[in-house]
Structure formats: C-alpha cells, structure tokens
Amino acid sequence: MSTTRTAPDDRTAPGDRTARGGRTASGARTAPGPLAAADELNRRLGATRTEAAANPQLEALALAVTANQPVLLWGEPGIGKSAGLTQLAAGLGLPLETVIASVHEPSDFAGLPIVGDDPAVTGVPMAPPDWAVRLAESGQGLLFFDELSSAPPAVQAALLRVVLERRVGSLELPEAVRIVAAANPPSSAADGWHLSPPLANRFVHLHWTHDPRTVARGLAGTWPEVTVPVVEASRVPGAVARARGAVSGFLTARPGLVHHLPADAESRGRSWPSPRTWEMALRLLATGWATGAGREALAAALTGAVGDGAGIELLSYLEHLDLPDPDRVLADPDAFALPDRGDRQLAFLIAVVAAIQSDLTRPRWEAGWVVLAKAVDAGVPDVAARAAADLAAMRRLDWTVPAGIDAFLDLLQLSGALPGGR
C-alpha cells in the first residue's frame, strides 16, 4: 500500500486538502494533491522550443492562407495536421476556431431558424453558431473544419455556402477569416466519404506527410518554427502583372486545360482544373512572387489548386518563362528587347497590359505602345493583336493616339476598339 508523505507543518485534515495545494479558509497550508507531480511532469514535457528549419509543406499551407484561399490538408490520422494549423495560427497571431465537421448537422452551417415578431415582414433569420459569432466579432481568424471526409454528403452540401460565400446562417464572415480543412483518405477515415466535386473544387489540396527526423527532433524538445510569408508592398504591382501574364499566356497555349473533370469519384474529390481553380492558382502565384516563397512550397500550392497534371505543365512553363518586371520595362521601354520565344512574348505582353491597367497614366499607356511596336518590328504582330485591343480600350478621349498604333490600326477599327478614330 502506497502513501503520500508530507512535512509535519504541511499536514491538514483530509477534507481540507485541495487538488494543487494552497490554503484553507482558515489560512492553513494544504498539501498538494496526488496528481501535482504528474501535472508538473506533463508541464515539462509540453515545454518545447522552435528553430528555423525548411518545411515546404508548412510553407505551402502558410502561402495559401496568406493568399486567402481555402485549404484542405490530406493525410493519415495522427500525423500532425491539427498541430501544424495550431502552430500557423500562433505564428500569424490569429484566433483559431475548430469545428469537427463530421459531428455536425447541415443546419449547424445553414443556421437555425428564429421566428421574429412578424415573419411576414421581417422574414425568418437563420441564427449562426457561436464559433461564427466569435469570428465575426474578432474580424479575423482561422476557421478549421476537421474530419471533412467523414462528413456525410448533406453536411458537405451545407458547407459549400460557408466556403464559397463565407456565410453561416444569416451571418457573413469577415474577409480576413481564413478557411482551412483537414481530411483523412476515405480508406482510413471513420465512415469516410469521397468529397463531392463542387466542394473539392473550392479548396487548394495539400498532401500532409510526416518527416521521421522532424518528429524525432520534436520529441527531443525542438520543433521547426513556422515561416510566415510576408507580402512586400514593392513587389505587389509586378507580381500581379507577371502572374496574370503567366497564367493567361499558359491557358492561351493550352486551352484544353482550362476545365477537366476527372472520370473517377476519388479524383473528382481532389484537385482538378476549372476556371475557379485557375483563379486560385493566379492568386497563389502572385502571392508567392510577392512574398519570395520557396519553389517547393509554390509548386505544392499550384498543383494543389489545379491538380498534378495541369500543375506540372504550368510549373514547367513557368520554369522557362522568366518574365521581366513589366513596371521596369514601362519605365524605359526603348531599352527593352522582346523575348525570342512566342509563348514568352505573349505572356509578357499580357503582363504589360495588366500592369498598365492597374496604374493607368498617360506616360505608361504611351510606353505600352512602344513595347507593342517592338512585336511588330520582330515580325509577330499577331502576338500583340489582343494586347493592342486591350490597350486601345483604356484610351481616354483626350489622349492622342501614338505612332506605334499604326500597325494595329486596321485591326482595332474593325473590332471597334478605337472609338473616334485618330
């Protein structure tokens, strides 16, 4: 039989003892409870530190969250999906709300009806759950839907509105609230379901794995710290214009990849290309370039948006694209030499037009025509035809038409993009 020993001056009546020790109402000291040492042991085990270390999958998650694109982490149970998200929330300084999707009813996301004084006049508002109210009051945060693949189809359908429209009942979530979900493959999920194609196509899908060396070092007390990508303001205009040029140029060359719904149910429940996911890829690419994200993280995010097949083709295209900064070219268009390859020419001219549209001034507009004229001089006016039409449409009535437009005049007049003539 084991007993707990106390010092003579610590002895009190058994009924006066508290769980952690302290003092009774009369002021006498009390002995610590039988679990005090165990609590101290657990506290020490929970005290860890972090160190800078490369972690592409965590960086890809942070990149997608920074770009404010819904993310879905796929991985086997117990490999740290929830822990990674908790670490990211702490690194971003955001409140984290966790919702176990598999134990909720559709009405928990659609809202519960509340009858007001006169439903015929005011209607019947749909009351949101408490977690949605807390996020709305905070104005920002991470909303984490766990066990998504264990949610039945009816619940998945109700989640569509939350993910797409950011509405829970009658409450609209603030734009600064980021949405992340986690799922186990149906083969290892409790009562697992394949995700419906409409829901799957609203997420950036990331494969979450474990690194044995990272786990071993973490259990020794040191985990990798999360790298929070920071958008540099000076990079934003160029990153947006280059990303527009790259994605638009790629899809112009590969129109068959704009939309492709896989044939089998499992693939339809993952990432696949559609106009919606190409817009996700555009935002991820622009954010990656504006933050200086690593190549592995950016590759994981892009393939997670449009699927492995289309994503690998896009990455190969980007690797050989090497677009110059359009803002620098517009600052000194005479010193610019048009790229030799047709795909680079098209992507760059689209990027130039996007850069001018984002900051439209007469000097930048006129510099754009100098750039387009170089395409004519290079013997490829057809490459610049679409860009010329877009640039002409930006013209203000009090701006005279520059000489560089002459090569495109017939085309623009036929298309009606040059109102009022010269």
| Ranges assigned E (strand) in 184-282 | 204-207, 222-224
User: What pLDDT band is residue 54 in, cutting at 50, 70 and 90?
Assistant: confident
What would the pLDDT profile of 190-205 be if each residue is shown by its tens digit? 556 788 899 999 999 9
In whole angstroms, how far apart are CA 221 and each of 33, 87, 163? 28, 15, 36
pLDDT tens column, 201-254? 999 999 998 888 888 988 998 888 877 889 999 999 999 999 999 999 999 889
Q: Which of 1-10, 47-56, 237-246 has the lowest mean pLDDT?
A: 1-10
Neighbours of 121 (CB within 10 A): 7
- For residue 17, pLDDT beyond 90: no
Helices (H), 69-189: 81-92, 107-110, 119-122, 130-138, 153-165
Contacts made by residues 164-168, CB under 8 angstroms, sequence distance 24+? 164/202, 168/109, 168/111, 168/128, 168/129, 168/132
User: What does the CA dihedral 236, 366, 340, 289 come to, rounded to 10 degrees?
Assistant: 0
pLDDT at 21: 55
Q: Which amino acid is at 210?
A: H
Q: Are 336 and 345 in contact (CB under 8 A)?
A: no
**pLDDT of 69 over the 60 cut:** yes
Pairwise CA distance, residues 130 & 316, whole Å:
46
3-state secondary structure of 16: helix
Q: Which residues contact 33 (CB under 8 A, 6 or more apart)?
A: 17, 18, 19, 20, 21
In what order do the strands lie in the sheet containing 96-100? Answer: 96-100, 141-146, 177-183, 71-74, 204-207
Biggest CA pair distance of the chain: 104
pTM of the model: 0.82
User: Strand 22-23 vs strand 141-146: parallel, antiparallel, or unpaired?
Assistant: unpaired
Tell me the pLDDT tens digit for each residue of 220-229: 988 888 778 8
The answer to whether 149 and 111 have CB atoms below 8 angstroms apart is no
Q: What is the pLDDT of residues 282-338, one digit of tens each?
A: 999 999 999 999 999 999 999 999 999 999 999 999 988 888 889 999 999 888 888
In this prediction, residue 4 has a pLDDT band, given cuts at 50, 70 and 90, of very low
Quote the mean pLDDT of the chain.
Answer: 84
